[in-house]
Amino acid sequence: MTAVLKIKGDRYYAVLNYKEGTEYKQKWISLGLPVKNNKRKAEGMLDEIKREYADGYETPAGDMMFTAYIKQWLIKKKPCVELSTWEGYQIYAERHIIPYFEPLRLSLRDLKPKHIQEYYQYKYTSGRLDNKPGGLSIPSIKKHSIVIKEVLDDAVLAELIVRNPANGIKMPAKNISTREKTFLTADKANLLLKAFEGHPLQALVYVTLYYGLRRSEVLGLRWSAIDFDRNTLSINHTVVKNRTIVKKDTVKSQTSFHTYLLIDDVKDVLLQEYRKKKENAQKFSSAYKNTDYVFTWEDGTLFRPDYITRGFQRVLKHNGLPMMRFHDLRHSTASILYDKGWDIKDIQSWLRHSSIDVTSDIYTHITEDRKSRMATELNSTFKI
């Protein structure tokens, strides 16, 4: 088998010449790249395709191995999406999907809906890679399904298969062993804040609880987005990480852009942080990293996203508090607002959900304290 680069209609193609039985055949594969300024990238993609085909993955259309096509799709997809998005795809594919399907040696043509259903079920029951018992959450498996569906949609467009076998596959049914979200009451949230007293993450956790911010949003909070005179705080920048830390002036969705009124308690904490920033700038002098970010180490270095996760859980463990994810602070904000009597529409607005269904389905949690009050109020209502 030989493979060479060809140009057709101002686009790069990989042209394969191979023997099938006694016949010699040729196959053109679009690399999805315009000719201008893309020769080096096209050559890299050609080398990758050569390696995949040399491994015996490619024969006639439709008989290409599913895992080989995933690798090819990753190469094509990289210039089409943001780096953080592509790295997420790469992690799901290389750490989970490919290792599962590679031993099965299923071609695109042989891949059936049952194989994908079995993969989802396996990941749900025992698909963790950290040697801990149990499987992945439904939201995690849905991210895997996005990759699988897009790969197979691409194969349909390339006329390698007639239909996408991943369409219509349901997620595994939730059962009682599924890890539930954690919802703190206001009292429990204050106990958690007390555990963070003097910790570098104290102010960050405090602001997160008040506004229900995502990790990427609170990390991306900048002084330029806070107006102490007009008492406003804007969410307009995020810091995310899969393999690379990416800082960007985008948020999860259009509704995630928002300007809040600056709550007095939060204003006091942020002013304290601003004074610390000035003091630390003098203390570290030329070694100080003078960025616009609010939550940093003493020398001005921005917290890493993975430090937020690990540092948060270390404090919980050290203080004997129930383990929870950092994102559960956002759930807790919603639950506390609900306990305070806010209606679902107001909570949706505060948390900046694009759909009220998201708020209703995920965050209308009634705490045990609220259930107890409801039972007490209902008691003696009826007589017999």
Mean pLDDT score, 117-143: 88
Going by C-alpha positions, the residue among 47, 7, 50 that lies closest to residue 30 is 7
Mind giving me the DSSP string for 268-305? HHHHHHHHHHHHHHHHHGGG----SBSSB-TTSPBPPH
Give the residue with greater pLDDT, 348 vs 275.
275
Q: Does domain 186-374 have CATH number 1.10.10.10?
A: no
Distance set, CA 17 to CA 20, 30, 42, 272 (Å): 10, 15, 18, 68
Give the residue with greater pLDDT, 3 vs 189.
189
Coil/strand/helix, residue 235: strand
- For the chain, how many residues are written? 384
Grade residue 255 by pLDDT with cuts at 50, 70 and 90: low
Q: In this predicted structure, what is the pLDDT of residue 241?
A: 65
Phi, psi of 238, deg, nearest 5:
-135, 160
| Model pTM score | 0.60
Average pLDDT, the chain: 85
Give how far the C-alpha of residue 243 lies from the chain's centroid of Cα atoms, to the nearest Å. 12
Q: How far is Cα 208 from Cα 217, in angstroms, rounded to an integer?
A: 9
Give the residue with greater pLDDT, 35 vs 24.
35
At 31-65, the pLDDT tens digits run 888 998 888 888 888 887 777 666 543 444 557 89
Q: Indicate the domain borders of the chain.
A: 2-157, 186-374
Task: For residue 147, count CB atoms less than 10 angstroms from its CB and return exposed for 0-12, middle for 13-18, buried for 19 or more.
Answer: buried
Grade residue 200 by pLDDT with cuts at 50, 70 and 90: very high
